Amino acid sequence: MSQRNERRRFAVKPVTRPAGSPDWILIGRLALAALLLILGAFVIKNQIVRIVLLVLSAIASGYDLGLKAFDSVLEKNYFATPILLLFVAFVSFLIGYPSEGAAVLLLYQLSLPLLQYVQKQTRGTAFQMLKGQDQELSDRAKELFEANDAGKLNMEGEALRSADLLLKIAMVFSLVYIFLLPRLGDYSYRVAIHRALMIMMTAIPASVITAMPYTALMGLCYGASNGVLFRNAKAMENTAETNVVVMDKAGIFSTGAPELESLHSDVLDQTTFLSFIAHAVYYSEQPFAKAIPALPESDYRLELISEFEDIPGCGIRLKIGGNPVLLATIDYLASCGIEVPKEEGNGEIYYLTISGRYAGYLCIVSQVNEGGAELLEGIRDIGVREMVLLTEDGAAESQRTAEDLGFDEVYGECDNERKLKHIHDLNQGSRNRVMFVYANGLETHSDADVDVRLSNKAKYADVTVQPENTSALPFGILISRRMCQVAKENAIFVFAIKALMIFLGMLGLNSVWFVLFMDVAAVIATLLNAVRVTKDPLIDLSRFTPPQEQ
């Protein structure tokens, strides 16, 4: 019979009961186990009766642990918590510490509903922050955050691996300790085994990561309550590590479509010139083409247009009535060997040539979005190392915009494909943690660690910020950092408690049940500590962090 069938054969079907109603069978078992423990440990004097009562107490409280341990054995998970607990309890009985063996099983079972209550309260506190928010945002947040893996952090896996390693080291150390202690001092093997059991109990790994999903949930809800909606905890974690922010100009630093400020031609009248331009840009997807007033559909003679080519950031190339036409920047025309008189304007100048002859120019302006400048300043203020601008504008206009806004680097003449390539290159083979911030026009996920969309739409984005609240993004980054900081502090605190318990156990100043008690207390403390994600740290460690190399 296969292991899977074997598991099904011995599986216990849970008894269904109304949600929120108490499990009276479990309550009865634990009450009985507690009574038997008190009688066996403190009341009854007869040794045989004491042992019988304590064994019955252990069976009453540890029955379902035995079933879970059996499942873990079938899954070859030999270091699972139920197996370790039963092993410690069993050996405690064998070496003459039956009260501790029974107590540790009862204490573990009593701790589970307490932990569930604290977890429920922590979760409720997190979701409470969504009340009073925009209903659509609140509903989207709850839908995202209630997913099974929404609160799972990358560091959770790292912490669990460290805890598993600690457990294996503790197991080996315990065996060595059993043989060494009697030889190093006047101790019996009974005492040595008892102390080794304390070390094994301390190394149970689950307590290290118990609070992490709730700390992440607190951060997710706090971010959403401030207008920054993270898809999940991993998106927050990646956001916290961001040191390079790449920003798309369109929709962030410019508002709406560009506008046609002026046009002029010495060889065509304005109506004919505008009609010619409208035909030239008819198939263009570039932003500047939207600034050209459209003709009535009946006035277009599209059969005259051929060999059309969009040149992102530079202009367009095509043929109209068989004549080569360029509507492009002066730099691009120069690269083609065409000279035109340089014109002055408040925006980007595009020059029209027909069969290589200059026919006129037009000036396209973009309205500056003051919110974009505020966003950029906010990101710089929180210590992001490098700011990069991507734009579809020509080289000269791109450079001017980057200098005006204070970007470290700029890539102009970019269509979506080039934008994605630049992001890919920035994130290759380096210590960069790249965030890409955009408003529209991209219907895929980039190779950035985090994609942030300033929009109400978030199909491909890891983070969504409502357009009217773009200045909240820097605070969202700070929330992410704070969440990761609290999660790490919680893990370090639990590890520190475990180290203290191991030290006390080696000195004989501990007991098996007290080790479990302290482990549970540490978990409860870290769950309650999750709310500190919403508070400023008592000590600002960033002051002591050396500046990163440029």
pLDDT tens digits, 252-278:
887 666 888 888 888 888 888 988 899
Contact of 479 with 383, CB cutoff 8 Å: no
- Residue 184: how many other CB atoms lie within 10 Å: 9
Q: Measured in whole angstroms, how far is the alpha carbon of residue 496 from the centre of its chain?
A: 26
Predicted pLDDT at 545 = 40
pTM recorded for the entire structure: 0.80
Q: Higher pLDDT residue, 20 or 459?
A: 459
* Domains of the chain with CATH codes: 23-128 (no CATH), 133-228+473-550 (no CATH), 229-254+368-472 (3.40.50.1000), 256-367 (3.40.1110.10)
The pLDDT score that the predictor gives to residue 21 is: 62
Residue in the block written with tokens 């980039």: 446
Mean pLDDT of 214-221: 93
Look at 279 and 79; give whichever has higher pLDDT: 279
Kindly report the average pLDDT of the chain as a whole number: 86
351 three-state secondary structure = strand
Q: What is the model's pLDDT at position 50?
A: 94
Q: Per-residue pLDDT for 111 more than 70?
A: yes
Closest CA to 244 of 350, 48, 389, 429: 389
Per-residue pLDDT, 448: 93
Greatest CA span in the chain, whole angstroms? Answer: 118
More confident position, 416 or 409 = 409
Q: Average pLDDT, stretch 177-200?
A: 90
pLDDT at 38: 95
Q: Which helix (H) or strand (E) holds 307?
A: strand 305-311
Least confident of 14-23, 260-269, 468-477: 14-23
pLDDT value for 538:
53
Higher pLDDT, residue 528 or 165: 528
- Identify which has the larger pLDDT, 549 or 303: 303
pLDDT at 394: 76
The string of DSSP letters for 197-244 reads HHHHHHT-THHHHTTHHHHHHHHHHHHHHTTEEESSHHHHHHHHT--E
pLDDT of residue 473: 92
Looking at residue 526, its pLDDT comes to: 94
Local confidence band at 365 (pLDDT 50, 70, 90 cut-offs): confident
541 CB neighbour count, 10 Å cutoff: 8
- Per the DSSP assignment, residues forming a β-bridge with 354 are 325, 357
pLDDT of 474: 93
Closest among 317, 283, 315, 324 to 302, alpha carbons compared: 283
The pLDDT of 452-469, averaged and rounded, is 84
- pLDDT at residue 3, as a whole number: 43
Asked whether the predicted pLDDT for residue 543 surpasses 70, the reply is no
What is the per-residue pLDDT for 548?
A: 43
Asked if residue 349 has pLDDT above 70, the reply is yes
